[in-house]
Structure 1
Amino acid sequence: MPSDAAPKARLKYFLERATAFDPSRVWSFATQIAGEQGKWAPRTFVDMLIWAAFHDTGYIDYYESDFALLSRKERKTFMTGLLQHHLADALNDPQDVLLFENKIAFNRLFARYLKREWIDLEEVDADRLRAFAERYPAIIAKVPVGREGKGVFRYVTADVDDWVQFRADLLERGQRLIEEPIAQHPYLSEYCAGTVNTTRVSTFFDGERVHVLMAAQKFGRGAVSDQFTWGGFFTMLDDEGRSVGPGHTGKHKSRYETHPDSGTSITDFRVPLWDEVLALIDEAARVVPTVPYVGWDVAVGPNGPVLIEGNWTPGLYETRVSATGIRTGSRASHQPAIVASRR
């Protein structure tokens, strides 16, 4: 099967990997995989090199998608980091992606879909910050440009004594975007009430139709974010918004048939108000047609879905056979974007 990435993208990737090639790092991955999955390390090492050089598969992709346990045919059903980045670079306008990269710019552009209050701290003084914050028991502060939930913080309003100093401290830490906390649907609160459990949906807008390429449900563990860096995990979703198997973190032997804290079933999960989620995303995906390939984060509230952010590099979400038993990835559903990237 030929590569789904353009020859130029593959050549660039190959040269970058060749320049940065570190045999000891690859060997470390190979020995880890061999130990976890009962494989012979030298053979795994060679296999990783072949799939990196000729099949658009980085070492971390090989590990996290359990390629050592899959046949060649099964492996070719999975998306990889290289292919995803190729699609993002080929399809999305390099200037307009800044509208997604900066959360304040995103909030302004997609204001009608947020359904929550927010302020830019550089545009308000301490009194206006206090007036905003005291309407809520807690506020969410974000660094405008950040990934994986690393720039998201939660502050209890009652803990603030000096609003002038608090504002100055937030600005010093770069936490310029202040938002009203999101109230989530009661069904989602049954899983983890302390974290907003979000749905990631990747889409491609071909100028007429919005194609849903992949959907995953993320679950938190009580922290301000449900991202992996905060202890979160995910399960893949089918076309009806239902879980297709146990949750996992992408790491070996992470498997959650139930939420580890609440005990609520992950395998029986279904996104509430799924049709409304799809309708919101269908509208949002048409706002910036020059950025047609996006991974959307949506939270479902008591009265309907709200948009959190859009990621112009959607993030790689795939099942893992050692956690779920599922041996097929999502590359087939990405074909509309793959075909368009070749034009």
Structure 2
Amino acid sequence: MILKRHLRKAYTCARGYYLAVSQPTPDAPRVTTRLHGVLKARFRHRIGPRYYSLYRLAAIEPSRWNDYVIDNKDYGDNFRAISAERYRTIINRKSLFSDHCQRHGLPTPELRVIVSPSTASLDGDRSSTRRLVAPSVRRWLELMGDRADDLFIKPDDGAYGDGAFSASRRGNRWHYQGRTTTANDLFYFIRERANEGQMRFIVQSRIQAHDKLRGLMSPTAVGCVRIVTYMRDGQAHLFCAEIKLTAGDGDTDNFGLAANGNMVSAVDMDSGRLSVGYASRSPVWPVIQPVSEHPDTGRRIEGTRLPLWEEVKSLALQAQRSLPEVKTIGWDIAITPEGPLILEGNTTYGLASLQIAHQRGFRREMEQIFQG
């Protein structure tokens, strides 16, 4: 068993180096150049082959490689060290965050229902969202009513879009995850997911992108602005921003490690204008390349100015001021026809997509944020 584990680990490692070297890019067309770069990144800079490919280090001077942050345990520990867990929990639990937004006047999608595992107890739940828990299909139907035709469902404490999916009603039938069922069966489907993971699921009204952004989004998922704020000397500040541009028929805007077809683009903090987009041309390995036009619509990305940009920045700062104990937060804000809405905050936000979007590393800035 131990031998198999070691062999599997060795195979995964070798495969990573093979993919990093075998994927041709315009930045390093020769195999020998790619091999030299990958080995140099690993042994001189402690950057593995996946991040070497993600950050397009073949096109960047080696003297700048150490500017990049690698998302790892040490990096996560820095976030946990500067903010108390009880405050981070308010953000990380989506139902608690919804309650927080209501109390502080922060616009956010309506929370319709909470579905808990069958064995869950409401003892100790003091938040106003307790009234939205549906322990039975009867309560589910009462809370759902006749208002909702499009829903978005996700784990209460999930991340990276894992486990999230949408559901749409047509007539008296619901369509989700390749199924067509009744409202009752949708409840039991969510309950089964909750039981499997022993976690709560929240059900929100699904939002739509602002009209001026629809050419930059797929029709099935709204891409959010990720805007990072931080506290210094008792004041909230803006750091950097990107927008996640959705493509294809996925349900989320998650960029992850560039394996799902979505794109990222840097947002100029002053003007709200977009840079060129970046995406992987391979779902197997991050072969990052610039994208000048949206692949589904042909709309030009670079130079597009986001609508309501001043409102987005103002909302991010207002949200940061509502939680001054959390020293830095990555906000996901959707720009909708009704205005900007905060979908969630991230207390341990990854830097990978931000650094890809901006095509530079943020190590120095993050060290200053961690130092306060």
TM-score by length of 1: 0.80
AA at the equivalent of 2:83: N
- CA displacement 1:29-58 (0-9 Å, x = unmatched): 3343333232526533531332454xxx45
Matched position secondary structure for 1:267? coil
AA at the equivalent of 1:44: G
- CA displacement 1:231-258 (0-9 Å, x = unmatched): 3211112212221223324921543211
Query: Match for 1:200 among 212, 217, 226?
Result: 226
Alignment partners' CA distance in 2, 1:300 and 1:154: 18
Q: Mapping of 1:90-109 within 5 angstroms?
A: 90-109=81-100
Percent identical: 20
User: Is the strand fraction higher in 1 or 2?
Assistant: 2
Alignment partners' CA distance in 2, 1:149 and 1:73: 35
Q: Say if 1:205 and 1:211, in contact at 8 Å, map to a contact too.
A: yes
AA at the equivalent of 2:56: D
Cα 1:340–1:311, aligned 2, differ >3 Å: closer, same or farther?
closer
Alignment partners' CA distance in 2, 1:157 and 1:212: 39
Q: CA deviation at 1:89?
A: 2.9
Q: CA deviation at 1:226?
A: 1.4
Cα 1:42–1:141, aligned 2, differ >3 Å: closer, same or farther?
closer
Q: Say if 1:218 and 1:234, in contact at 8 Å, map to a contact too.
A: yes
AA at the equivalent of 2:65: R
Q: CA deviation at 1:141?
A: 1.2
Cα 1:70–1:162, aligned 2, differ >3 Å: closer, same or farther?
closer
Structure 2 residue 159 is matched with structure 1 residue 147: yes
Cα 1:85–1:249, aligned 2, differ >3 Å: closer, same or farther?
farther
Matched position secondary structure for 2:279? coil
Q: CA deviation at 1:188?
A: 1.3
Q: Say if 2:312 and 2:333, in contact at 8 Å, map to a contact too.
A: yes
Structure 2 residue 131 is matched with structure 1 residue 138: no
Query: Match for 2:328 among 279, 285, 293?
Result: 293
Q: Say if 1:134 and 1:157, in contact at 8 Å, map to a contact too.
A: no
Structure 2 residue 253 is matched with structure 1 residue 226: yes
Q: Mapping of 1:186-335 within 5 angstroms?
A: 186-192=211-217, 193-221=219-247, 222-228=249-255, 230-239=260-269, 240-249=271-280, 251-316=286-351, 317-320=353-356, 328-332=360-364, 335=365
Cα 1:246–1:153, aligned 2, differ >3 Å: closer, same or farther?
closer
Q: Say if 2:227 and 2:331, in contact at 8 Å, map to a contact too.
A: yes
Aligned to 1:4: none
Matched position secondary structure for 2:96? helix
Unmatched segments (≥5 aa) in structure 2: 1-5, 117-132, 175-180, 195-199
Q: Say if 1:61 and 1:81, in contact at 8 Å, map to a contact too.
A: no
Alignment partners' CA distance in 2, 1:58 and 1:294: 27
Aligned to 1:177: 202
Q: Say if 2:101 and 2:108, in contact at 8 Å, map to a contact too.
A: no
Matched position secondary structure for 1:187? helix
Alignment partners' CA distance in 1, 2:53 and 2:250: 27
Q: CA deviation at 1:186?
A: 0.4
Matched position secondary structure for 1:108? helix
Q: Mapping of 1:33-48 within 5 angstroms?
A: 33-35=20-22, 36=24, 37=28, 38-40=30-32, 43-48=36-41
Structure 2 residue 62 is matched with structure 1 residue 72: yes
Q: CA deviation at 1:194?
A: 2.9
Alignment partners' CA distance in 2, 1:224 and 1:197: 10
Q: CA deviation at 1:295?
A: 1.1
Q: CA deviation at 1:268?
A: 2.4
Cα 1:307–1:136, aligned 2, differ >3 Å: closer, same or farther?
same
The size of the alignment, in residue pairs, is: 315
Cα 1:114–1:142, aligned 2, differ >3 Å: closer, same or farther?
farther
Which shows bigger deviation, 306-315 or 209-218?
Answer: 209-218
AA at the equivalent of 2:213: L
Q: CA deviation at 1:198?
A: 0.9
Alignment partners' CA distance in 2, 1:148 and 1:163: 27
Cα 1:311–1:93, aligned 2, differ >3 Å: closer, same or farther?
same
Q: Say if 2:280 and 2:288, in contact at 8 Å, map to a contact too.
A: no
- CA displacement 1:309-339 (0-9 Å, x = unmatched): 111111222455xxx8x7533445xx2x422
Aligned to 2:178: none
Alignment partners' CA distance in 1, 2:215 and 2:342: 21
Query: Match for 2:188 among 168, 184, 195?
Result: 168
- CA displacement 1:119-160 (0-9 Å, x = unmatched): 223523434533525312221111112222122111122324
Alignment partners' CA distance in 1, 2:110 and 2:9: 48
Cα 1:127–1:25, aligned 2, differ >3 Å: closer, same or farther?
closer
CA RMSD, aligned part only?
3.0
Q: Say if 1:29 and 1:63, in contact at 8 Å, map to a contact too.
A: no
Q: Say if 2:56 and 2:288, in contact at 8 Å, map to a contact too.
A: no
Unmatched segments (≥5 aa) in structure 1: 1-18
